[in-house]
Each structure stands twice: as structure tokens, then as C-alpha cells.
Structure 1
Amino acid sequence: MTPISSALAPQTSSQPSPQPSPRPGDADEAMAEGTTVDHLTETYRAHYRSLLGLAALLLDDTASCEDVVQEAFIRVHSARNRVRDPEKTLAYLRQTVVNLSRSALRRRILGLKLLSKPMPDMASAEEGAYEQLERDQLIKAMRGLQRRQREVLVLRYFADMTEAQVAETLGLSLGSVKAYGSRGIAALRIAMEAPV
């Protein structure tokens, strides 16, 4: 039997029955269903590398590219009923990859703008560590002073009071404040110059 005659021959019960021919209304229903999951998955698998390459043109790291391509598949999968023509599935995937890459770039740029920028006169890490050592040494030296000397120096130089204000606060004469201050500074110099 030739292929044509076999196609025209009546079918036996062992063969599956032919699908009924679509009626005019069935075509509209098929279009309303949109792209099938199988078609979308096949398109995604076949074009994964090219979609990854497209994302790589817009983004700089592989992990972000992979995330964008995965997210594009998820979004097109969710909206597959709107893809009326299955032939346009790849175009929808590509457009979604481009849009998601743009969004990722915008988020990065915004993140960079929002990062706190160091002040131009900000000390380096080494300078900061050195300043911390000096501060610790100063605190240790201050603790070694007599109580009145320490009080006068703290109020005068750390609280930024005048000598008259220090005298009033501590109930001392102006001369006593000057004497405690000069002796305290001399003692601090000796303590700060001593080897640690």
C-alpha cells in the first residue's frame, strides 16, 4: 500500500482516532490560551545561552545575568496567556531580559548614589589607629594627674570653658586655676613623652 492509499484506508480500532477538525470558534479559543508551557519551556531551553549573552551585554557579572534570565522566564511564564502568537515567545523573553537588566542597572546606580561617601579630609585607617593610640595614651596620662589638675584641664580644654568659668565652676580663685592648669600640662607632657 502506498503512503497515500494507507492514509485514505479506513483506520482499525488499534490506531488512535483522528482529532476532530477545528471549528471556526475553536481557533479563537486556541488563541485565547496563548503560549503553552511546553512551547515556552522549549524556547527557553533552546535559547538560554543567547538570552544569557544578551544579559551579559548589559550587566557585568554572571550571577546577575543568570538571575535576570531566570526572572524573565518566570515573568513570561506568568503572562504566557497574553502571548497570542507562539512564534513571538522568544521576542517576549528577549524584551523581558532587556527590561530586567535595565532595572538591575538602575538599582545599582541608585545604590551607589545612596552610599555614604568618605569625607575628603577623613583619616586613613592607619591614621585612625594612630589617633586612637594617642587618645588612649592621653586618657591614661590624664588619670595619672592630681584630681584638681585633671578637673581644670578637662573643663578648660575639653569643655572649652574660659579660666574664669572654670574658677567659678570649681570654686577656686583665678590664680589657682592658672597654677593647676600649668602644672597639669607640664605633667601631661612628661607622661606623653615617656615610652609606653
Structure 2
Amino acid sequence: MKTSLATTLSFNTVKPDCQYYLVSAIPGASGGGVSLHGGRNGFCPLDVIQLSSDSGRGIKLTLSPYDNSTIIRESTDLNLIFPVLLSGHEYCNEQPLWKVDNYDVSLGIGFITTGGFVGHPGAETLLNWFKLEIFGTLPSSYKIVHCPSFCESCVKLCSNVGISYKDGIRCLALALYDKPSFSVALIPGTERSMFV
């Protein structure tokens, strides 16, 4: 039996000093957790992807709010940070922090990669910030949103994060208007098994 949504978390229990798995909120054939892949060009920056198997939890991450709050609240600007880069890609010499990269205006899509800068909310770091917002009818189901709100005067691009297929890989990317958002749940990094 797959992991129960009852084991996922609501915002009143999510803290920035803990690690979590970010997995698909829809059990079954909708894929697993988030991980890293060797980039669309085979090199750096690394792409943030969703594992194709729903039994894979992926890599743990931490959520760091822009205002250094001690709990994570809905619609708060966050840095999403993997603790380490994918093994074998240490030569990338970049922080394993999510950012929007390689935005293609003609396609209206920007892929999510690593290489962002921790903290320092401002115009120069707009691409490094994401939010989790309640999404759908499933309990503890969220969508990832890129729409920084800490800088009212900044020109920004707002979009939900979805899945874009590239050479069979499920890459996280800013969702096109006709594509669904990636529905996710948070699972504590201390849980040992996908099964309950």
C-alpha cells in the first residue's frame, strides 16, 4: 500500500530547520519525489526533476523563508534547497538551491535548475524564490508557485510550477497556460519507508 496522505504535513508543522521530501500528492502513476538530473545540456546547472516512479521519494530539501520565520506559512517566499548536489556533479561549483533558469520567451517556459543564491531578497534574486500554496481538494496538497511578493516594485514573472517532458525526463518548469500544476505533498525526511 502506498504512503497515506495522512502522513503528509500541513503548514502548521513545517519548519525551516528540518528536511522534507517533496513528492507527488496524487498516489499511483503520477510519479514520485523531486531530485536532480545532469542538466538539459548534460552539464551544469543541474535540472530539478520529478522521479518517474511513484515509489521514489527523491532528495530531501529544506525550505528557507525570506523573513527567517520559525515556521513555514502558505504563500511565503521561500528558498528551496537540496542539502547536497547530485553525487558525481560536485564539479558544478554551484549551490543546490532552486532557481528559474533558461526562460524561453517563445515557449513561455522557464526550467527549474540549481545555482540560486540563498537569502538576500531583492531584485537580483527574484528567480530564486518560490511559494507553496494550498491546491486542489486532497488534504495537505500544495502547488509550487514562482511569484515573489517581497519586492512590490520589481518586474516579475508569475507562474505555477508544472512538469515539462524533455527526452523522457520530467523536468520541473514554469507551467504553460494549458498545462496542470505539479501537485505536491511534504513528507518528513525522517520517515524511512514509502509504505505504511
- Normalized per residue, the structure richer in helix is 1
- Normalized per residue, the structure richer in strand is 2
When normalised by structure 2's length, the TM-score is 0.19
* Greater gyration radius: 1
